[in-house]
């Protein structure tokens, strides 16, 4: 089994949202301080000895977080048409982060 190297960063953002069609308090506009964990796993190291430069991971994550921070998520695509649940935010975030890192 090849070695695995895991790099992880933690960050956060603040945003408001409401859940359309939800029966309860979350159907009203409210805010959260969202915690974000990004984890990258590599099976090989580069010539410097890194699986991935933390700077690359941090910059890709910051670019994504900057689109969400201090926003009403219900006004940002795709959350203007789907509920900004934790699950949908996660699903939205993953492809954007992967594209940013691969470029």
| Full-model pTM | 0.82
pLDDT at 95: 63
Fold of domain 5-102: Tetrahydropterin Synthase; Chain A (3.30.479)
Task: Say what the alpha-carbon torsion angle 75, 77, 83, 88 is, to the nearest 10 degrees.
Answer: -140
pLDDT at 86: 93
pLDDT at 101: 54
Ranges in the chain, pLDDT < 70: 94-103
Domain residue ranges of the chain, discontinuous segments joined by +: 5-102
pLDDT at 1: 72
Which residue, 98, 77, 79, is CA-closest to 87? Answer: 79
Whether 34 contacts 10, CB under 8 Å: no
């Amino acid at each position: 089994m090849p070695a695995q190297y895991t790099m992880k960063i933690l960050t956060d953002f603040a945003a408001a949202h409401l859940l359309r069609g939800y029966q309860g308090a979350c159907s009203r506009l409210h805010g959260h301080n969202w915690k974000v964990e990004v984890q990258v796993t590599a099976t090989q190291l580069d010539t410097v000895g890194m699986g991935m430069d933390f700077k690359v991971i941090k910059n890709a994550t910051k670019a994504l977080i900057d689109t969400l921070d201090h926003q009403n998520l219900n006004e940002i695509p795709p959350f203007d048409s789907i509920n900004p649940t934790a699950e949908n935010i996660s699903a939205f975030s993953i492809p954007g982060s992967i594209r940013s890192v691969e470029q």
